[in-house]
Amino acid sequence: MAHIQLKTSPRGEWEEVEVEKGIRVEQLYKERIHELPYTIIAAKVDNEFQDLSFLLNKSCKVELLDIRTQAANLIYQYSLSLLYIKAVKDCIGDVRVEIQNSLNKGLYTEIKTPDLLTEDQVKSIEQRMRELVEKDIPFAKGSADIEEGIEILKEEGLVEKIRLLDENKDLKKITFYSIGGYKDFFYGLMVPSTGYVKYFELKKYRRGVLLRFPHPSNPDNSREKLYNRKNKGDEIMRIGAIVGNPPYQMSVGNQGGNKSKAKSVYHLFIKTGISIGSDYMSLITPSRWMTLSTEGIPKSFVEFMINSNKIQEMIDYEDASSVFPNVAIKGGVSYFLYSRKYYSKCKYTYFEVTVLHKIFKSIKNVTLLM
């Protein structure tokens, strides 16, 4: 037997349960399915994200995740995207499907057909998706060596996926998922079967299709307005990238005398940027969030950011004045590139104070000849 500490909702309490060794996380969920308000998409086992097929072979901490959590919402998107591509192939044939831009609460896609896509074709794709959901077809998982994987991708015509592999040189194996004979390569985790992604909606837009899905704030609402409209016409606002230097903290009271107490808020801007679904995000923030030593930043946020594998690069300065002269920020300052399509290790660069001082001193002593 294995002793499990189990939490079934983001703000729930931990409970002690005893289970047979070797059971899947999915079984834990299904035993409690009628007690939970939302579909469980994935789990966090000893602080690492796992799909529901993960085997519990020892005592551990298990947190069941529905799409109110950002990590589970991303897994929902990956699974829905594969379902969508499969339905397109079934309805239109062997055409290229591109998942292009993130929208506020959805994805903009293009189906590369010789003629313009029609409303009837979009309706037939959505109907086919619902048929596949009703059949509850498994997402079959497989892996291949990188060379074999690239050959498979070439056969499937997935040129963009090959480019992504070329950018991730440290990958030794790649993961494939298949559904009803169609195979594709995805970086992230997937749900066990099509029955887990029942909430979605398609809408024709210009040459493409909007693939809408629930937002973490409203998990079961498939008809929610999942995009922003401009004031004029019927244009849809695409958000390709978010760049900025958000507020770091806010005052939350007085400690006595002239000292005030402050609470960090910059992580809320990071979470909002991720939930918007932009392809890229780069923000300047204090570095201390990585150390779990900052007032107001929850451990769950730190664990999600570190385990997401979507931070492509981070530049970290020990001395904040190296970036902002005459400004003191305890623990230093950093900036990062978060990429929705990236799934690999982070390239991390750390500038120590002593190294920077040597560089600045050498630059100061150089005479420029004009």
Whole-angstrom CA distances from 193 to 76, 200, 339 are 11, 15, 26
Instruction: Give the Cβ contact number of residue 167 at 10 Å.
Output: 12
Q: Is the confidence at residue 262, as pLDDT, over 70?
A: no
Q: Which domains does the chain have, with CATH numbers?
A: 2-66 (3.10.20.30), 71-212 (3.30.980.10), 241-357 (no CATH)
Q: Is the confidence at residue 225, as pLDDT, over 60?
A: no
What are the DSSP calls for 224-283, one per residue?
S--S-B-SSTT-B----EEEE----EEEEEEEETTEEEEEE-HHHHHHHHHHHT-SEEEE
pLDDT score recorded for residue 223: 43
Whole-angstrom CA distances from 323 to 249, 265, 310, 328, 344 are 18, 20, 24, 10, 27
pLDDT score recorded for residue 159: 66
pLDDT score recorded for residue 217: 73
The per-residue pLDDT for range 323-337, each reduced to its tens digit, is: 788 777 888 899 999
Q: In sequence order, what are the residues at sequence separation of 6 or more whose Cβ sits closer than 8 angstroms to the Cβ of residue 247? A: 265, 266, 269
Which residue do the tokens 């999942």 mark? 226
Q: How confident is the model at residue 257 (pLDDT cuts 50, 70, 90)?
A: very low
Query: What is the mean pLDDT of the segment spanning 286-299?
Result: 80
- Of the two residues 103 and 146, the one the predictor is more confident about is 146
Q: Is the confidence at residue 61, as pLDDT, over 90?
A: yes
Task: Provide the phi-psi class of 326: left if phi over 0, else alpha when psi is between -120 and 50, else beta.
Answer: left
pLDDT score recorded for residue 236: 54
Which residue do the tokens 């409970």 mark? 15
Whole-angstrom CA distances from 136 to 23, 273, 283 are 21, 32, 40
Query: Please, are residues 102 and 86 in contact by the beta-carbon 8 Å criterion?
Result: no
Distance CA 205, CA 201 (A): 13
CA dihedral 30→34→36→38, nearest 10 degrees, is 80
Query: What is the mean pLDDT of the segment spanning 7-21?
Result: 91
Which residue do the tokens 């609402």 mark? 221
Q: How confident is the model at residue 230 (pLDDT cuts 50, 70, 90)?
A: very low
pLDDT score recorded for residue 343: 77
pLDDT score recorded for residue 313: 92
Sheet with 208-212: strands ordered across: 96-103, 106-112, 208-212, 201-205
Which residue do the tokens 């037939």 mark? 124
Q: Is the confidence at residue 227, as pLDDT, over 50?
A: no
Q: Helix or strand or coil: residue 340? A: coil
Q: How confident is the model at residue 70 (pLDDT cuts 50, 70, 90)?
A: confident
Query: What is the mean pLDDT of the segment spanning 302-307?
Result: 83
Query: What is the mean pLDDT of the segment spanning 279-285?
Result: 90
pTM over 0.75, yes/no:
no
Distance CA 44, CA 70 (A): 12
Query: Please, are residues 82 and 185 in contact by the beta-carbon 8 Å criterion?
Result: no
The per-residue pLDDT for range 176-215, each reduced to its tens digit, is: 888 988 888 766 789 999 999 999 999 998 788 999 998 7
Q: Is the confidence at residue 31, as pLDDT, over 90?
A: yes
Q: In sequence order, what are the residues at sequence separation of 6 or more whose Cβ sits closer than 8 angstroms to the Cβ of residue 181? A: none
Q: How confident is the model at residue 96 (pLDDT cuts 50, 70, 90)?
A: confident
Query: Please, are residues 276 and 70 in contact by the beta-carbon 8 Å criterion?
Result: no
pLDDT score recorded for residue 238: 61
pLDDT score recorded for residue 74: 87
The per-residue pLDDT for range 141-180, each reduced to its tens digit, is: 888 787 777 777 777 666 666 666 666 656 677 778 889 8
Query: Please, are residues 316 and 284 in contact by the beta-carbon 8 Å criterion?
Result: no
Selection from 243, 180, 205 nearest residue 100 by Cα: 205
Query: Please, are residues 191 and 66 in contact by the beta-carbon 8 Å criterion?
Result: no
The per-residue pLDDT for range 112-126, each reduced to its tens digit, is: 988 889 999 999 999
Distance CA 240, CA 309 (A): 19
Q: Is the confidence at residue 228, as pLDDT, over 50?
A: no
pLDDT score recorded for residue 167: 61
Q: Helix or strand or coil: residue 196? A: helix
Sheet with 140-145: strands ordered across: 140-145, 173-179, 182-185
Distance CA 301, CA 121 (A): 41
Rg from Cα positions in the chain: 23
pLDDT score recorded for residue 93: 92
Q: Is the confidence at residue 285, as pLDDT, over 50?
A: yes
Query: What is the mean pLDDT of the segment spanning 32-57?
Result: 92
